[in-house]
Amino acid sequence: MASEKIKVFTDATFGDEVKNGVVLVDFWATWCAPCRRLAPIVDQLADEYNGKLTVAKVDIDENPMTPSQFMVRGIPTLLLFKNGDLKETVVGLETKERLAQIINKHL
């Protein structure tokens, strides 16, 4: 991960981590080529929204319970939470501009 502003969530920490504020979670895997293409966009969002938004990643291979709980069937999948409530789901590659629109709606 290029940005030090991105957190790593696990099955054990996920519930506590998304309860406060606006949180964007990237579900990914090391073998996923589209995930690698989305990573720089997620890094940029973490930098640009620092202090307004928490950005995190969940490796689905190491943490299978959380993706199952939220019915993540394909990756990359981005979930946006506000104070613990799931507000948006984005599956697949998306532009930075579109993701920013989605984020701004909930800030």
Q: Which of the residues are catalytic?
A: 32, 35
Neighbours of 91 (CB within 10 A): 14
Under 8 Å between Cβ of 2 and 42: no
DSSP 3-state of 39: helix
User: What does DSSP say about strands 77-82 and 85-91: parallel, antiparallel, or unpaired?
Assistant: antiparallel
CA dihedral for 87, 93, 96, 98, sign (positive or negative): negative
Only one residue has tokens 């949180």, namely 23
- Give the phi and the psi of residue 6 in degrees, each rounded to 5: -90, 130
